[in-house]
Amino acid sequence: MVPYPWPELLIFDLDGTLIDSKEDIAAALNQTLAERGLPALAHEEIYAHVGNGVYDLIEGAVAAAGGDDVEAALAHFMATYDARLLERTHLYEGAAEVVAHFAGVAMALITNKSMRFTRPIVDGLGVAGWFDPILARDTLPTCKPHPGPLLHCIDAHGVDPTRTWMVGDGATDILAGHAAGVRTVGCLYGFRTEQEVVGAQPDCLIRDLRDLPGLFADRPDGG
């Protein structure tokens, strides 16, 4: 593969792309189900509902567990997850090194997680300063797969969309990237299935976050 030109803007998804948060999400969700008299779900079934926001997560999980009161379960989960945000959640191996490799490149974070959870996580992991802006599901009127958040970042930095990349582990990330006219990287190590990621037709696929720098030619300044 011929390396792509050095990027002007890298936009990252959060869960399943930069951080492995699946154990805390699954633990909080199964605690919620148990406390509401519903059976626990297999973790893989829970992960299949992650990526489109907390309401979709709870709606899918409650239905799978045989329940029907989504609103009450949502409120219960929000309080439960608040207390468990950083029990086991951690950055993927090599995240800091990858960010350092792209020093000088603008970086943004766009997640379909609510800001209620996003801010404490990025602050707690010490990575908030990596990104400008940090956009959550409830920051703007639209969220992924709508291109609005990506276009907001492109406008904020005044960059070329063709030198902008959306990096994420789900179809919502790739579809948002396509709609915004940017290039896309599908992460096969995240929460979603390989079939979903490949089916969304990203420009590139990586099996490890540390593979990201290898997609690009050397920085123009030779640094």
Q: Check residue 218 and give its pLDDT.
A: 83
pLDDT band of 221, cuts 50, 70, 90: confident
pLDDT for 1 equals: 67
Same domain, 128 and 200: yes
* Closest to 89 (Cα-Cα) out of 66, 113, 65, 105: 113
2 within some domain: no
Pairing of strands 106-110, 134-135: parallel
Task: Say whether both 38 and 111 belong to one domain.
Answer: no
First and final CA of the chain: distance in angstroms?
A: 22
Q: Identify the bridge partners of residue 116 per DSSP, sorted by sequence position.
A: none
Give the CA-trace dihedral at 205, 115, 45, 36, to 10 degrees.
180
Determine the pLDDT at residue 137. Answer: 94
Q: Is the pLDDT of residue 127 over 90?
A: yes
Among candidate residues 60, 56, 68, 69, the one with its CA nearest the CA of residue 41: 60
Q: Once rounded to an integer, what is the mean pLDDT over residues 26-45? A: 94
Rounded to whole angstroms, the Cα distance separating 6 from 218 reads 7
Q: Do residues 171 and 195 lie in contact, with contact meaning Cβ atoms separated by under 8 Å?
A: no
Active site residue 169: no
- % pLDDT > 70, the chain: 98
At residue 168, φ and ψ (nearest 5 deg) are -160, 165
Q: Which of 13, 15, 20, 169 is catalytic?
A: 13
Supply the pLDDT for residue 203.
Answer: 97
Say if residue 129 is in the same domain as residue 193.
yes
What's the CATH code of the domain at 187? 3.40.50.1000
Q: Of 41, 58, 82, which one is at a domain's C-terminal end?
A: 82
Q: Which residue has the tokens 């639209």?
A: 142
For 97, counting Cβ atoms within 10 Å of its Cβ (0-12 exposed, 13-18 middle, 19+ buried), the class is exposed
**Average pLDDT for the chain:** 94
Statement: residue 68 has pLDDT above 90 = no
Q: Which of 1-5, 39-43, 120-124 has the lowest mean pLDDT?
A: 1-5
* Segment 145-196, tens digit of pLDDT: 999 999 999 999 999 999 999 999 999 999 999 999 999 999 999 988 999 9
* Residue 114 sits in the same domain as residue 52: no
Final residue before a domain boundary, out of 82, 107, 132: 82
Same domain, 35 and 65: yes
Is pLDDT at 206 greater than 70 in this prediction? yes
**What domain range includes position 183?**
9-20+91-215
- Is a pLDDT exceeding 60 seen at residue 223? no
